[in-house]
Amino acid sequence: MLWLHIASIAILIGGLLYGSLVLRSMAEVAPPDVAQAISERTAKRFRPRVYITILALVFSGLYNLLSTPGHSTRYKILFAVKILLVLHVFAVAILAVRPKVERRARRMYGAAISGLVVILLSAYLRRIF
């Protein structure tokens, strides 16, 4: 299940990074109506992947947590912080792929940065366990 968890987070965070960087660059050079149309099509194509990766992350994360008991208090506190950041990434990712969203690239960028912090926190949690 760990492979599913890692693959899902790579798809979600990678897609958010790609979307934010490409949409920002495109908005600078393309006419506003063209940039908006491409942004809408990009979000429409990324939307199912967001929902699938969120479901995969929730189920594989619960499985990974429940299959390894005996965590310390420090681990649990940091894990709670990680979950709060993950909820932020999920919420912003869902909102960013909705139709007719203003500042889509900025939202994706913020969620991607939070996702990278989650990855770093996960690596630290893996080390202290």
User: What pLDDT is stored for residue 82 in this prediction?
Assistant: 97
- Given a contact cutoff of 8 angstroms between Cβ atoms, the answer to whether 110 and 92 are in contact is yes
Low-confidence residues in the chain, pLDDT < 70: none
Q: Cβ neighbours of residue 72 under 8 Å, at least 6 residues apart?
A: 128
36-70 tens-digit pLDDT: 999 999 999 999 999 999 999 999 999 998 998 88
- Given a contact cutoff of 8 angstroms between Cβ atoms, the answer to whether 81 and 45 are in contact is no
User: What pLDDT is stored for residue 125 in this prediction?
Assistant: 93
Give the integer Cα–Cα distance in Å for 101 and 126: 36
